[in-house]
Each structure stands twice: as structure tokens, then as C-alpha cells.
Chain A
Amino acid sequence: MNDLQQSLVDSLRERFGDSVEEVREFRDDVIVVVTRQAVVDVATWLRDNEHCPFPLCEDVFGIDAWTRKQRFEVNYHFFSLQCKQRIHLKVRLEESDPAVPSITGVYPGANWYERETFDMYGITFPGHPDLRRAYMPEDFEYYPLRKDFPLMGIPGSLPLPKRG
């Protein structure tokens, strides 16, 4: 961890205390696991802090860990143009309640990323202005990137026009 990363992690720990569940380093990048209640505050702080602001939300997506107790995970990638630095946030979710507060109020660009995550994993984002499916038809009932979804889909779930 370089000095900048270390100071960011220290400030996060100091500011958010127990909300920071875990800090890891992987290939020179810092991964911070936070609780879902804190995600909006952490994102706001990362965007606005004076030391090393992260104005760019590069991506948001989900993970289905399947065998882990906390089955779902939402990953956020932020990039700081000023410091040329990335930071990754993770939020772990129980299967029974896959919901994370939306960060669209902080990063408007996260809008469609969250829609995509909802479409593929069924993770909801309370506070999102327009949480519709992104790729699959509106009336589709399943979440295709979940591990228990068969690769070839559920027969009959996506109707085709009649051949005629």
C-alpha cells in the first residue's frame, strides 16, 4: 500500500469506524468492504474529500458468491483523476435481503450500472430514480447471472413470435 492509499484507508477507518468491515490489497489496488448502511456516506466522502477526490464512478456490478454465507456482493470502482488512483468498495449482502441504498444521488453515472445489476442479479437499490430492467424484457421473471439460473435459460420464459 502506498502512502496515499494508506492515508485514505486511515481516514476511512477514522471517519466510519465499524462501518469499514475489511480492508484488503490486491495487485496494488485497495479493496474496502463496508456495510451497506454506510455506502452512500462513504461514496460521498470519497467524491468530496480534499486530499484525494474520486469524481469518477467507473463501474458498479454484482457478484453471486453462491456458497458463501453472504451470497451477494456489490462492487464499486472509483477513480481519482487528480491522484491517478483507484479504490474499490464492496458491500456484502444476505440472500434474504439483497438491497443496497442507491448511490445515484452521489454519482449520477451509476444509474444504468445499478439497473444492470438489478437486471442480472435481482439486487435492488432503494432510492434509485428508475429501477427497471436494462437488458432483459420487462416482464422477464428471472435473474440470469445468478448461479442457479441455467445457462440455456428457463424453457418458455422468453416467448418468440409464431413461425407462421
Chain B
Amino acid sequence: MGLESALGEGYLTTQLDALVGWARKNSLWPMPMGLSCCAIELMSAGDPRHDISRFGMEVMRFSPRQSDVMIVAGTVTYKMAHVVRKIYDQMAEPRWVIAMGACASSGGMFRSYSVVQGIDQFMPVDVFTAGCPPRPENLFHALIELQKKVQNSSVLDYRDRKEPMFIS
């Protein structure tokens, strides 16, 4: 409706990549992989004050089949890593991953035998977010950077990933 009124009788030319990227980036549905304290900050990112829905990302899906971006929020132990990976594998492509917080990015303060020192050891990561925990604003920064990446990736070859991004 909005589009017709803006264009009138006219028409629009664009690239398929740009159009699909635009649609994808504004409808990223997150899979909240909340594993510990960072998940609380992820929840507060969804509250009315911070309002994650401004980015088209408010539809937290608890089924991996319906989600596009996994937000790994928390401490991933070796025992849990298999579960995280299994859920990631169940997500339909195209899919992206945000490592939220120091724990998911690097093991954080848990430098010990039971905690995986960075989830990039067992799954690809698009954006690493610093903070313990990151403020919601920091998570949004990561989401916006991810949106830029989604916009710029090719439809056919979205997996042609560039280096992951680091948000601090």
C-alpha cells in the first residue's frame, strides 16, 4: 500500500540482491539461545524501553525452524555446546549467529575446564559482542552491523562470509 502511493503509476528498478537483502535484513527473527546472565540483558532488549522491534527483530522464536539469527547469550559449556550446535543445525538457511557477551565470544571470566573458550570453535559466528553483559544498546549495535552484512550479501551465495565483526 505504502509503496503504491509513493510510486504512483511509476515503477522501480533494483537488483534482486538488494531487494532480497532489504527484505531479509528487516525481518530477522532471532533464536534466543539464552544460557546465563546475558540472557537477562537480551530480555531487557525486548522491553518497551529499548524496543527491539524497531529493527524488525522482535519476533523471538523458540523453534529453530522459524528463526534466522541465533543470539548465543551466555556461557557455553562443553556439555551444552553439542545442544547449541544441534539447534543451529536445525535452523533453515540463510542463518546468522551473534555471539553476545564475553562468555560466548571468548569464555569470558570462566577460564576453566568446563567452558568453551569462544563459540567460534564449533560454529561460524558473524558478530562478536563485547561486554559482561553487553548493554541492550550494544546488542543493537551488533544487530545493526549484522543488518548491514545481510543487506550486502548475495542471494545465491550468502555464505560467502567476510571476516566476522567485533562490536565493542
Contacts and interface: CB of A to CB of B under 8 A. Distances in A.
A91 to B, nearest CB: 27
B79 A152 contact: no
Nearest to B120: A163
Interface residues of B, number: 16
A122 B82 CA distance: 25
A136 B121 CA distance: 19
B124 interface: yes
Contact of B82 (A135, A144, A149, A161): A161
A63 B151 CA distance: 56
Contact of A144 (B85, B113, B121): B113
Contact of A160 (B113, B114, B121): B121
B33 to A, nearest CB: 14
Contacts of A151: 111-113
B78 interface: yes
Contacts of B122: 160-163
A131 B10 CA distance: 74
Interface of A: 135-137, 144, 149-154, 158-163
Interface of B: 78-79, 81-82, 85-86, 111-114, 116, 120-124
